[in-house]
Amino acid sequence: MASYLTGSEAFTRENLPTETSNAGPQAAWADKYRGATIEDLDPPPALSISSEDPISTALMAAYERDYTHLTVISPTKRSLLGYLSIPRLRELLQSGAVKESDPVSAAMQRFNRKRGIYQVITMETPLEELEQFFESETGPNGDKREKQQFAVVTDVARKFVLGVATKADLEEFVKRRPN
């Protein structure tokens, strides 16, 4: 037999302080995102550029679409090699470390394939996991790493890059989602 609460009982129960001593950050994140996944962020399609393209072409493509990160692929195999951070690229251009006529490979960040352990991020990945990916200072294998600013969203088999999710996308989602 189901039991039902009166309106005042439900209101009282909702406003009672909950016991959070056992609830970790995962529970707080789950409350914040309420089951949302990366698909709910509606990330724009990834824009991939060749490592041989000139930096000027990459800049133009990023500015036209208002992207902060571009994925870099091999010109022959079309495999994912790394990424190009536009804010970092601006710094390199201002300091004279690279020129707009240089190839993208001169300024890109390469993925470290020697470690061999990747955290696969797909459209079905819960936003709690994405936030943990951004905030964690350890990789999936326990190695120390920097906090991440973006994630490459792929299919489960990691054959196709579907999009890029940034920390800013996650923050914007939380702002526009009603409490």
Residue 102 has pLDDT above 60, yes or no: yes
How many domains does the chain fold into? 1
Residue 94 structural domain: 34-176
Q: Which is higher by pLDDT, 68 or 27?
A: 68
Domain-embedded: residue 20:
no
Domain-embedded: residue 14:
no
The two tokens of residue 34 are: 């309420």
The two tokens of residue 31 are: 């409350």
Mean pLDDT of the 138-147 span: 75
Cβ neighbours of residue 3 under 8 Å, at least 6 residues apart? none
Residue 22 has pLDDT above 50, yes or no: no
Domain-embedded: residue 113:
yes
Domain-embedded: residue 11:
no
d(Cα 127, Cα 32) in Å, to the nearest integer? 9
- CATH number for the domain including 87? 3.10.580.10
Per-residue pLDDT band for 9 (boundaries 50, 70, 90) equals: low
Q: Cβ of 36: how many Cβ atoms within 10 Å?
A: 18
